Amino acid sequence: MRRSPPGWDLGDFLNRGTMVAARTENTKRRSKMKKRTIGTIEVAALLMMAVVPFASAITQDDIILYRGAGSWFGEQSGAAGFGDGTVVDASLTGFGLAGATAMVGDINGDGVDDVVVAQNNAGGYQWVAAHSTTDGSGNVVMSSATTSINNNFGTVDGNAGNRLADINGDGIKDIVTVNPDYTWHTMLSTTAGISTGAYQHKQFGLAGDHIISGDFNGDGMSDIGVWRAGTTYVNLSDVGVLGAGAVATGGIGDSSWEMTLVGDINGDGRDDLMLVDNNDSHVADGQLSWIAAYGSASGQLDFTSGGGNSGFGYFGLNTDVPMLADINGDGKDDLVVTRSNGAGGMEFYSAYTDVSGALQGAVGVDSSTTFGFDTDQVVFGQLNVIPEPAALGMILLGGGVLWVRKRLMI
């Protein structure tokens, strides 16, 4: 999978009532491997296989917490879902300021998720990435021994959102900020990490819109968009340029839906838009309601056409914080909620999406744990890297070529 959503989705910061998907998109807005995608080219009939080594395979998303002024804690998920809440698999101290927005993603293209903060620096955002390493056994080591930094990118006052996204499709997360006038700005990262200098920008959206970003058409580049009281507007990235492509318009939900998350729910390699409602407009028993419009080849997000939809489901309490993450490692983002345990701790509950991504009424809990404090920022990333011997294959079969490849998710 990819990917946040997250998050974001969701993505990706999170505002109740006017929630955007930043927590999930950084969540989900995390650097995940997407499922194999296949295309066909007509050629002579023969059989060949070309193999190219790749960094990693699909693994479960892991919980990563940012606490107070600069403390990070991570716990790996497993085949059965969340960890047991008692083991800290990765940690880092002294990285980030109080009030910083925490994000996770591969910022330098080495196949390992890094931790990133966007924090106030005299009214502008200072972006800093701590470049993670591995311990030789595939476990990620959070480390600030090597960092990259941009001291002034984005406006703090009235900012509409900060996130990580792969705008040019090179497999490296780029930093993205949306200013109060809904002008999107991105600075493309390199193998050295966060960069400075020239940046791209595009005005897209109106005050009050929910901002969304993800690879909605499956071309490997993150697109930008907004959800506006039931209408979706997606501006595709093209040739590595923010918002240089077509605009696709669709519809899902109405103004009664309150939260937006982004993730790949059905595992087709395209990001989907999930709406979540916590005000009992759609279910009258204090639960959260969920619906998703799937991404499509055109980038359109529409509940009745385009890539299809998940149907309606409900999961979690209406006081929970909803997120998306691939907890069981099947390449599809799952429903996740967090809540306080009443004693200062944080509880996590997940419901796995099915083979098609469909939601069927009441959704049960498939995995749960208690980890961290209820004041922690929650993001998702990958804390282990599993080597995979082949990720690009060319099979010439029956007059056609099947290209099998893996792409880094947004």
Dihedral sign for Cα 10, 11, 12, 16, please: negative
176-181: long-range pairs with CB below 8 Å, 24+: 176/213, 176/222, 176/224, 177/118, 177/125, 177/153, 178/205, 178/211, 179/154, 179/155, 180/155
Name which residue leads in pLDDT, 400 or 74: 74
Alpha carbon 2 to chain centroid, angstroms: 7
The DSSP bridge partners found for residue 279 are none
pLDDT of 389 reads 46
HSE of 351 in the Cβ direction (CA atoms, 13 Å)?
A: 19
Angle CA(382)–CA(85)–CA(321) in degrees, nearest 5? 75
φ and ψ at residue 325, rounded to 5 degrees: -165, 150
Q: How confident is residue 33, by pLDDT bands cut at 50, 70 and 90?
A: very low
Average pLDDT, the chain: 84
The percent of residues in the chain predicted with pLDDT above 70, rounded, is 80
Question: Are 1 and 35 spatial neighbours (Cβ–Cβ below 8 Å)?
Answer: yes
pLDDT digits (tens, 9 = 90+) for 210-269: 999 999 999 999 999 999 999 999 999 999 999 999 999 999 999 999 999 999 999 999
Measured CA to CA, the distance from residue 232 to residue 378 in angstroms comes to 27
Residue 47 has what pLDDT?
36
pLDDT at residue 288 greater than cutoff 50: yes
pLDDT in tens, 307-326: 789 988 999 999 999 999 99
**236-to-167, 192, 215, 268 alpha-carbon distances in Å:** 10, 26, 8, 18
pLDDT higher than threshold 50 for residue 9: no
For residue range 130-178, what is the model confidence (pLDDT) as tens digits?
A: 999 999 889 999 999 999 999 999 999 999 999 999 999 999 999 999 9
Cis peptide leading into residue 46 (ω within 30°)? no
83-104 pLDDT tens trace: 999 999 999 999 999 999 999 9
